[in-house]
Amino acid sequence: MSIVFEVKNLKKKYGDFLAVNDISFSIEKGKCFGLLGPNGAGKSTTIECIEQIIDYSEGEIFFEGSLVQEKTLANFGIQFQQTSLPAKLKVKEVLEFFSSLYQDARDMSELIELCHLTPFLNQYHDKISGGQRQRLLLAVALCHKPKLLMLDEPTTGLDPQARRNLWELVKRIKQEGTTVILTTHYMDEAFELCDEIGIMDHGKMIATGNPKFLLKETFETTVLEIPLEVISEEQVNSLSSDIHIGDRFFEVTVKDLNAALAKLAVLNLDLSGINIRQKNLEDLFIHLTGKDLRS
Amino acid sequence: MNFSFKRVLAVIKIRNREFYRDLGALGWVILFPLIMVLTFGYIFDVDQGEQYKVGYWGNYTTPEIPHIQWVKYSSQEEALEKLKYQKIDLAITVGQKPAVLWSAAKSPKSKLAKEIMHLHLLPKHTSPFYEEQIEGRVLTYLDWVFPGIVNLNIMFMGLWGVGWVIVRQRKLGVLKRFKASPLTSFEYLLAQMLSRLIVMIASSVLVYGVANIMHPFNIEGSYLDLMIFFIAGSMALSSVGFVFAARMTSEELCNGILNFITYPLMFISEIWFSLEGSPEWVKLIANYSPLWQMTDSMRKIMYEGASLASLAGSLIYLIVFGFVFTLIGSLLFKWNKE
């Protein structure tokens, strides 16, 4: 696959504050790149620099081998994290309006079907649910068939079902061959949708790569979550030296899962409440930055 | 990005939809001038305590007379011209005997002013006034104030309906969404101005129609000339909104600044009261006000039958004013609140 989009040494300064600090990454055609990080990490600023909503201070952005210019932007579609639509319009009118701004707009009925807008097409856009609103904003971003779609925290604040619906939608868009940049602070979302991720903190890119590869590269361990009331601290210390005491569980990180389970069997405990999980992106983020992802 | 009238039309369409679906705003735009016309028109027409303006020329030590305000002119012709169109209520020639008191033939205010003058001055003169009348139409306060109220409404619609709306859209992030589309700032601003112009014309025609039923206006000039001034003035007033909305992100600050602009403009632009007799510097400032240029020209067309050619200076001023302020607004314009 060929590189379709590339950011080189991007910086964005607000006075002395570096909101984006010398980041670089590239994306292959038709892939989804996830920008992960806590609030204030610089994800949205990066997206807005790419779309040229704000001017960046230094760096270069390339699309299909050429520097991004005003005419290139016609290939980009964006769903902002914080935005509003023109007031007092119905969903259908919003789509008609944004479609009329483009010379080569996507067929309306195709867009309505793709984003499942039919049930609320004639409702005012400020009267629809959060999930419906995100689907509408996605439709607005897609109304000119962009080659690169940027989604800035599209599922923040949505209930689990609405999040899953949107994930399915993003997967369909990917299947159409659209390249996607997704910012999120939900690790499960990144794991589900992204082929590559970049983890940002304090404006810097601190790790990039395939999520599974990154986890494997960083961790060769498994986590045992044992309810606090089941096991004593003395017993848990016999399993591993890497123990974290949570609200309800001892989180025991072990390199040899079989050996740890054998020891637990010997202790003759009620093991019906224990969880065994692999390290995930949340753990990776804590490992890399020393803090919780949503702190 | 090439200019696209299709995009301009699209923005006009959604802006107009937003306006007519906001029943509060729609009602206010029509009701405000009607309420003003009814209230001020009728209150001031029956007001007994107002001042009467008497014009004079030459060297004359004006006596203090209750309810009389003296206004000095450079020549008899100038004073009589003002009397003809009832910008003053009387004119007096004092350099000859007997003094000549000029009144407007059909004006009730002129008659009242003459009575006051007789009451206070007659005993001191050895010979009675020689009285002259000049012909003019009866111009009530409602006639006079109506164009001012309509234009005041236009100013409010231009500044708040264009300027404040842009600031609100920037604050909410609507403009950020627009920036991520092919819409250019010029197309956006042009659409804002044109959509407001449609509303201004429609609401003013409606207000004129309703007011004309209650109080028939006898328009002496051309309706076309009136419309030309209306459009030029509306665009000039809207362009002021562009400049102040170019970068602002706070609706509160915008409100404060717009109030700061509109109040002085309202008072120096002869909306409620004639500036005859005001200090020269006030009249000089008024000349620079697009609201005054628009209102004064429309009054001249409506009640003096003035032609477009005779008002060319004012028309050019309004067009240049609108162009320059729109240009400044476009150059300063920012989509987002960076």
CA A15 to the chain's CA centroid: 28
Q: For residue range A73-115, list pLDDT tens digits in order.
A: 889 999 998 889 999 999 999 999 999 999 889 999 999 999 9
- Name the strands in the sheet holding A32-36, side by side, starting at the edge strand that comes first in the sequence: A76-79, A148-152, A179-184, A32-36, A196-201, A204-209
Which residues of chain B make contact with A89, given a CB cutoff of 8 A?
14, 17-18
Which of A71, A88, A89 best tests the B interface by mutation, with the highest count of B CBs <10 A?
A88
Which residue matches tokens 């309706």? B223
Contacts of A70 in chain B (CB under 8 A): 1
Distance, in Å, from the CA atom of B247 to the CA atom of B227, rounded to the nearest integer, reads 32
Are A86 and B18 in contact (CB < 8 Å)?
yes
For residue A86, whether the previous peptide bond is cis, meaning omega lies within 30 degrees of 0, is no
Tell me the three state secondary structure of residue A80. coil
Return contacts of A121-127, CB within 8 angstroms, 24+ apart.
A121/A90, A121/A91, A121/A92, A122/A90, A122/A91, A122/A92, A123/A90, A123/A91, A124/A88, A124/A89, A124/A90, A124/A91, A125/A85, A125/A89, A125/A90, A125/A91, A125/A94, A126/A87
Name the minimum distance, in Å, from the CA of B182 to any CA of chain A: 6
Sign of CA dihedral B302, B305, B307, B313: negative
Q: What's the average model confidence in pLDDT over B273-298?
A: 89
Measured between beta carbons, the chain B residues lying within 8 angstroms of A84 are: 169, 172-174, 177
| Predicted complex ipTM | 0.81
With cut-offs at 50, 70 and 90, classify the pLDDT of residue A57: very high
B23 reaches A (C-beta below 8 A): no
Q: Which residues of chain B have a CB within 8 Å of the CB of A73?
A: 180
- Confidence class for position A142, pLDDT limits 50, 70, 90: very high
pLDDT bucket at B249, cuts 50 / 70 / 90: confident
The three-point CA angle B273-B228-B156 to 5° equals 50
pTM for the whole structure? 0.78
A241 close contact with B: CB closer than 8 A = no
Distance of CA A269 to the CA centre of its chain: 39
Mean pLDDT computed over B316-323: 96
Interface test with A, best of B5, B13, B14 (most A CBs within 10 A): B14
Record the tokens describing residue B127, joined without a space. Answer: 């010979």
CA nearest A142: which of A184, A114, A182, A183? A114
**How many Cβ atoms sit within 10 Å of the Cβ of residue B213?**
8
B250: three-class secondary structure by DSSP: coil
pLDDT digits (tens, 9 = 90+) for B211-222: 888 888 878 889
Residue of B nearest to A87 (CA): B18
Q: Taking a C-beta distance cutoff of 8 angstroms, is the pair B235, B193 a contact?
A: yes
Contacts of range B306-309, beta carbons closer than 8 Å, 24 or more positions apart = B306/B221, B306/B225, B307/B221, B307/B222, B307/B225, B308/B222, B308/B225, B308/B228
> 3-state DSSP helix/strand/coil percent for chain B, to nearest 5?
65, 10, 25
Q: Give the end-to-end CA distance of chain A in Å, rounded to a whole number.
A: 37
Could you tell me how far CA B86 lies from the centroid of its own chain?
17
Burial of B215 (0-12, 13-18, 19+ CB in 10 A): middle
pLDDT at res. B168 = 92
* pLDDT: which is higher, A152 or A257: A152
- Per CB-CB distance under 8 Å, the chain B contacts of A140 are 177
CB distance from A78 to chain B under 8 Å?
yes
Residue B239 has pLDDT above 90, yes or no: yes
Question: Could you say which DSSP state residue A121 is in?
Answer: T
Query: What's the CA gap between B327 and B325, in Å, rounded?
Result: 5
A84: closest CA among B311, B328, B165?
B165
DSSP class of residue A90?
Answer: B
pLDDT tier at B126 (50, 70, 90 boundaries)?
Answer: very low
| Chain mean pLDDT for chain A | 89
With a cut of 80, say whether residue B205 has pLDDT above it: yes
Chain B contacts in chain A segment 15-74 (CB below 8 A): 51, 53-55, 70, 73-74
Q: Among A49-53, A139-143, A174-178, B24-28, name the one with the lowest average pLDDT.
A: B24-28
Query: Across the interface, do A53 and B17 touch by the CB < 8 Å criterion?
Result: no
Name residues whose C-beta falls within 8 Å of residue A288's C-beta, 6 or more positions apart in sequence.
A199, A201, A206, A207, A218
Q: How far apart are CA B320 and CA B323, in angstroms?
A: 5
- Close Cβ partners of B52 (under 8 Å, ≥ 6 residues apart): B67, B68, B69, B89, B90, B109, B112, B113, B116
